[in-house]
Structure 1
Amino acid sequence: MTQELSHSASVVVVSRSCFVASRLVRIPMNKFNMSRQPLIFKLLAGLIVLLMVLVLVVVFFPWDVLRQPVNRYVSDKTGRKFEITRRLDVHLGFRGATIVLDGVEFANPSWARDPYLVRTDRADFDVRLWPLIGGKVVIPRLSLVSPSLGLQMEADGRRTWALGKDTADEGSVPTVGLLQIDGGSIDFLASHLGVDLHADVDFDSARGDMPLSYKIKGTYQKQPLSATGAMGNVMQLTAAGQPPFPLSINAVAGQTRLKASGSVASLQTLDGLTAQFDLRGQNLGDLYRLLGIALPQSSPYALAGDLRKQGTLWTVAALKGRLGLSDIGGEMKFDQGPKPAYLSGDLRSRVMDMDDLGPLIGLAPTARSASAIEGVAPPSTVQAKRPGGKVLPAATLDFDRLRAMNADVKYTADRIKNVREIPLDKGSVQVKLKDGVLTLDPLDLGVGGGKLAGAIRIDGSKNPADIRASLDIRGMQLARLVPKLETTGNSVGRIDGRINLSGSGNSVANWLGGASGDVAVLSGRGQFGNLLPVFATLVGGDIIKFLVRGDRNVELRCAAIAFDVNKGVASGRTLVLDTTNAVFVGTGKVNLATEGLDFVITPQPKAKSILSIRTPLVVGGTLGSPSGGVEAGPLVGRGLAALALGAINPLLALAATIETGPGEDANCKDVLADANRPTAGAAANGAARAKGARQP
């Protein structure tokens, strides 16, 4: 009955419209006789009447009579229930139409978690007419009052907001420009991305430029996330040429906290983003899961700066903050356009603290570094030790991160604080990552008044990775490397050397455990107090002279420590320390796989002395827990001789401790030459491969 009345009303409206149109175009016959006019004029008059009738029909058409047909049509086309529950109204224009729906319920596909895509008290939106001819839905403006939205996407491309029956069809996804929400809630689920979020939205015009506030709870990248913030009442999803709208956010994801405020032109792509941010957390490496940027492992951090996005390019300017105990500043750029994405930047620290370098090589941050950032809880693991007392870092490479992007970043530290008795002065490094190959070249560190320079190359395109290190040591001062020598005023000559190692591995520990190459440290002339060789040679006469006369300088003639490294075993090629008092000659090896030490150091005094109990020194244990002692055989022999002679005459017991001084000056030229030549074979081949890490 209701539909019949509606149709009758429509007939009356149309009839009256036609009557009005005829009255409007009626011309007095005495002034204009249609029968006498050409046919063209008659057709033109008829067309005008028709157009006016159509306009009046459109203006006065009772659109709500189409509500049920529209419900059935949309339900049939999408394969899910669509219903305008109260009223439908349409306002047509030349390029588009404004559609007003009072009460809307639009179901989700059967595979979705939430039963409804949208339920709202009122939906008011503009739609472009001409794109509809091609089957494309373009909605320049969409306004929703108290909506409840259930958005979901799957790994296979299906999404609930696709309007066709094939919800994985990109062409069935409407293009929405401006979005206005007056209260309501939004649920978004993407299980394959580890995302499950619920947002409550509230509108209050008393909030000024940002009347729309929101609260978000859920998980993001499988980490708990909560956020609050505000924005302008009209959001731009894909609108072009529109002024940016204001936006603020205060979010926590796992141990990462973000505060930001600014404006954005497109919410869907974040184009035109301009914001100031404060970002802090336990580890920069955590941002890989959250943002897809493969940053290095770090101590807790706090960073602030200006963030911009235009197209695919993100820019961070005026960056400043702290990584643990170290300050950091500079600029960064991240371009998502290339495949893989590209990170570049120039960073600088006025003071870099040595404690903050540990996470870069797989060590947990120290307690000092872990608690350095206010508002960030220290990591639960602080300087955890490996089983068996091993100390070489065993953290494995993350191959996914190495292949996730390309990079070219320069870092410079004006000063490096000596917090672990390693006198680093300053440093710089150029970090490049391309197609899974990470290079640190050039790497330049000021150490002990000298320099450690060279390159490290990690080819992550292979598993295990091909790792090569080629480093030169130039002009280091031993007195600065051993603080106890420096504090006693000792001066030791310059130290030079090199490290050329290559091999395969997924961590520092298992790489060194199988690496081959050459390691050498050389020193020329210098002076230091004679206390060290006195105790090392256990020459009693010199102890007496030291106690009577005090310390006197002893000349260092030369020193060379060189190893041939073959599949993780570093065998001593040259182990010589030559002073004016004694020559120290060593033999032995370091097993880098087990971290075991096995050395024998034989002192050879150069002068006669009494009260000597000289015997070879033995160094064993591990890198983490070395042990030292003397060989028992020679010491016991001298002890028994002293007892026997002492039984005859106590004074004769001293004869057993007389040192006849067999030691001779080492040929320093030959010593240094031998140390400079790795033995042919695996060591030489490994060293040659390592040198290939450097740029030509």
Structure 2
Amino acid sequence: MQNESSRVPRWVFIVGMSLSAFVLLLVLVVLFFPWDTLREPVNRYVSEKTGRKFEITRRLDVDLGWRSATIKLDGIEFANPSWARDPYLVKAERAEVDLRLWPLLRQKVVIPRLMLASPTVGLQMEKDGRRTWALGKDTSDEGTVPTIGLVQVDRGGIDFLAAHLGVDLHADVDFDSARGEMPLHYRIKGTYQRQPLTAQGRTGNVLQLTEAGQPPFPLEIDAAAGQTKLKAKGTVATLSGLDGIDATFDVRGQSLGDLYRLLGIALPETSPYALSGRLQKTAALWEVKGMKGKLGLSDIGGDMQFDQGQKTPRLGGSLRSAVMDMDDLGPLIGLPPTERSAKAVEGVTPPPSVDQVKKSSRSGDKVLPTATLDFERLRAMNADVRYTADRIRNVRDIPLDKGSVHVKLQDGVLTLDPLDLGVASGRLAGAIRIDATQSPADIRASLEIRAMQLNRLIPKVETLRTSFGRLDGRINLSGRGNSVASWLGGASGDVSAITGRGEFSNLLLEFMGLDGAEIVKFLLGGDNNVTLRCAAVAFDVNKGVMAGRSLVFDTADTVFHAEGQANLSNETLDFIVRQEPKDMSILSLRTPLVIGGTFGSPSGGVKAAPLAARGLVALALGAINPLLALAATIETGPGVDADCQEVLKRARQPISKAATDGAAKGKAAKQ
């Protein structure tokens, strides 16, 4: 009885044997099924579903598994949509496609691996969202785009066209196992962002488009787009989002501003550059670490980050120059680089220099930069970057020592705050604000001049080298414009500079006063300094016209009073300087000095009428007695000391309402 109860029921045995036989039969069918008989039905089915011709030209075979299948195609032709430029999406001698089975139940195509032998691939996307690799009849439907993991290519060509992005590229690839860990070689030629592009390099034998969990594959590239050249070597985890980049790079070109068209990073215009460092990317965050190199004649280094994951991309970082060359500042305010800067970086075609531009420009006498602000760039991203220059060289006309600036760009509003420059042993400090959300831009500047030394402020004037005194002042301007020139041409506000006691070159004063006796004394006894009691240069600025409100230079020898204006719009000068000597002198032909001309070509001279009157008197007296002619040149010294307190008081505050209002808006640049 016990043996009978422990026996397996006959029906269970029969069912088990039947299932085993079925499984065995199914395995045999899978192993020996003539898959090629399905080739024509598959061709018709895919062609009908996609709306374009699909054909396996020679043979179809399948290795079927529980979770996936490997489809082997001997000869494949898959046409592009009728709107595409290239006739085929893919045409290859052989192809292998690993296909996940279960996602097919959700009408999702997942291809973990795709191998193509000698392919011709035609990829194209349109502005309206259509793309040739979408497998449905509606090629703009995201749901019809397959997920592709690893791609292996053995000799072939790939075309990619996206006219609305300015991209039209052709790549030739070939595989050679003798090349070690990077056997796949590629060459690319075409246009990128509407600039000519060429590139070549090597990668691993498998391109990882989206497959996760795979080791990063190696990549080398040597590319040139327009005047920008890039060399990089490292690894990439996935190509679809360029994720997991870890590479060293060397990039150089005519201006960092060119990278906006290539990468979408709104950097300022600069002199030619060459930079190297380590580039890493995780998700939407790009990081450059240990960057170093040159901007024209200046060195630069630091770390930068570019976050594309925010609604508006954000650039951040900290940069430093051990030595910054003054010639490299021009492009930042719209001027071409100097010839020295233009030729400073090896391997970069020099851009037109400021000297070349002047020669070819009809308005070469213009000084203020006319390059317009690029509003699109200022609205393209946000930024928070700090820059410091430990030493500034090649200062020539402007004796800068060092400088630093904190650059912020938020929703189209650019601020330089604080801006701090060491000038002539003193400081120029403050803030500049540019609101590019308005057109013309609302531009405000508030700068303070502190303790600049006169003998360093104008180092080219030999007679000032022994002078000393402290210069203080301020610039508070506001207005609208799309360039430095247009802004200043319509700006209003306050500009002033004042100085107290010091010493000044006697020779310079006597030349300005045309005092022959003092010049003779100098030739016999040498130059001597005279006491500077006070000086003020202050302007009310109204819509670009700088009207002098306190223009006084008072020394123990002479007091100078000036009146007139400078026009920032047409860049003209119109001043008269009157000298009032405090001592009696002979051989003096003192007469008002006239300063005119333009900023680029100023002119100076004596006012003709008073000088001619003195000359006629001297001529008439000389006809009676030559010694009497000297009487016409005797200066009795009617000048008196200026009221320095009043001079400095007038210099400190604007008078007109327009200047006062403009200065108040300018001060608002400081946060």
Same fold, TM exceeding 0.5? yes
Residues 355 and 420 in structure 1, CA contact (< 8 A), matched pair in contact too = no
User: Normalized against structure 1, the TM-score is what?
Assistant: 0.93
| Shift, 1:36, TM fit | 9.8
Aligned partners of 1:382 and 1:642: how far apart in 2? 50
| 3-state DSSP of counterpart to 2:207 | strand
| Shift, 1:588, TM fit | 0.4
Aligned partners of 2:75 and 2:441: how far apart in 1? 61
Aligned partners of 2:8 and 2:660: how far apart in 1? 113
Aligned partners of 1:640 and 1:144: how far apart in 2? 101
Instruction: Identify which of 571, 574, 579 aligns with 2:547.
Output: 571
Residues 456 and 693 in structure 1, CA contact (< 8 A), matched pair in contact too = yes
| Shift, 1:647, TM fit | 1.4
Task: Give the corresponding residue for 1:5.
Answer: none
Residues 385 and 408 in structure 2, CA contact (< 8 A), matched pair in contact too = yes
2:86 matches 1:110: no
Task: Give the corresponding residue for 1:214.
Answer: 186
Name the aligned partner's letter for residue 341 of structure 1. Answer: P
| Shift, 1:420, TM fit | 2.9
Instruction: Identify which of 274, 283, 296 aligns with 1:302.
Output: 274
Name the aligned partner's letter for residue 475 of structure 1. Answer: A
| 3-state DSSP of counterpart to 1:83 | strand
Aligned partners of 1:418 and 1:280: how far apart in 2? 24
Task: Give the corresponding residue for 1:537.
Answer: 513
CA-to-aligned-CA distance 1:447-491 (integer Å, 9 cap, x gap)? 000000000000011111000011000010111011145686413
Task: Give the corresponding residue for 2:237.
Answer: 265
| Shift, 1:53, TM fit | 2.4
Task: Give the corresponding residue for 1:518.
Answer: 494
Aligned partners of 1:102 and 1:232: how far apart in 2? 25
CA-to-aligned-CA distance 1:404-426 (integer Å, 9 cap, x gap)? 10000000000000343311100
Pairs within 5 Å for 1:267-282: 267-282=239-254
Task: Give the corresponding residue for 2:373.
Answer: 397
Residues 293 and 300 in structure 2, CA contact (< 8 A), matched pair in contact too = yes
Task: Give the corresponding residue for 2:300.
Answer: 328
Aligned partners of 2:299 and 2:653: how far apart in 1? 42
| Shift, 1:548, TM fit | 2.3
Residues 480 and 486 in structure 1, CA contact (< 8 A), matched pair in contact too = no
Instruction: Identify which of 639, 642, 655 aligns with 1:666.
Output: 642
2:223 matches 1:251: yes
Task: Give the corresponding residue for 2:565.
Answer: 589
Residues 586 and 601 in structure 1, CA contact (< 8 A), matched pair in contact too = yes
Instruction: Identify which of 524, 527, 549 aligns with 1:548.
Output: 524
2:122 matches 1:146: no
Aligned partners of 1:38 and 1:272: how far apart in 2? 61
Task: Give the corresponding residue for 2:265.
Answer: 293
Q: Compute the RMSD of aligned alpha carbons.
A: 1.6
Task: Give the corresponding residue for 1:451.
Answer: 427
Aligned partners of 1:37 and 1:608: how far apart in 2? 142
CA-to-aligned-CA distance 1:80-100 (integer Å, 9 cap, x gap)? 000000111111111111111
> Which shifted more, 542-551 or 184-193?
542-551
Residues 327 and 394 in structure 2, CA contact (< 8 A), matched pair in contact too = no
Task: Give the corresponding residue for 1:562.
Answer: 538
Aligned partners of 1:511 and 1:124: how far apart in 2? 64
Task: Give the corresponding residue for 2:398.
Answer: 422
User: Normalized against structure 2, the TM-score is what?
Assistant: 0.97
Residues 502 and 515 in structure 1, CA contact (< 8 A), matched pair in contact too = yes
Name the aligned partner's letter for residue 563 of structure 2. Answer: T
Larger Rg: 1
Aligned partners of 2:128 and 2:78: how far apart in 1? 23
| Shift, 1:626, TM fit | 0.3
2:580 matches 1:608: no
Task: Give the corresponding residue for 2:168.
Answer: 196
CA-to-aligned-CA distance 1:634-688 (integer Å, 9 cap, x gap)? 1111111111111122111111111111111011111011100111411000000
Task: Give the corresponding residue for 1:171.
Answer: 143
Instruction: Identify which of 653, 658, 661 aligns with 1:677.
Output: 653
2:503 matches 1:505: no
% identical equivalent positions: 70
2:314 matches 1:351: no
Aligned partners of 1:367 and 1:560: how far apart in 2? 37
CA-to-aligned-CA distance 1:277-330 (integer Å, 9 cap, x gap)? 010001110010011111100000000000001100000011000000000000
Aligned partners of 1:239 and 1:572: how far apart in 2? 72
Pairs within 5 Å for 1:621-632: 621-632=597-608
2:91 matches 1:119: yes
2:413 matches 1:441: no
Instruction: Identify which of 611, 615, 619 aligns with 1:635.
Output: 611
Instruction: Identify which of 438, 462, 466 aligns with 2:438.
Output: 462
Task: Give the corresponding residue for 1:182.
Answer: 154
Residues 459 and 465 in structure 2, CA contact (< 8 A), matched pair in contact too = no
Name the aligned partner's letter for residue 228 of structure 2. Answer: T
CA-to-aligned-CA distance 1:256-293 (integer Å, 9 cap, x gap)? 11011111010121111111101000111001001111
| Shift, 1:499, TM fit | 0.5
Name the aligned partner's letter for residue 349 of structure 2. Answer: A
Residues 334 and 343 in structure 1, CA contact (< 8 A), matched pair in contact too = yes
| Shift, 1:339, TM fit | 1.7
Q: Report the number of matched residues.
A: 664
Aligned partners of 2:596 and 2:322: how far apart in 1? 41
CA-to-aligned-CA distance 1:19-43 (integer Å, 9 cap, x gap)? xxxxxxxxxxxx999x993655544
CA-to-aligned-CA distance 1:529-548 (integer Å, 9 cap, x gap)? 20100000111221222222
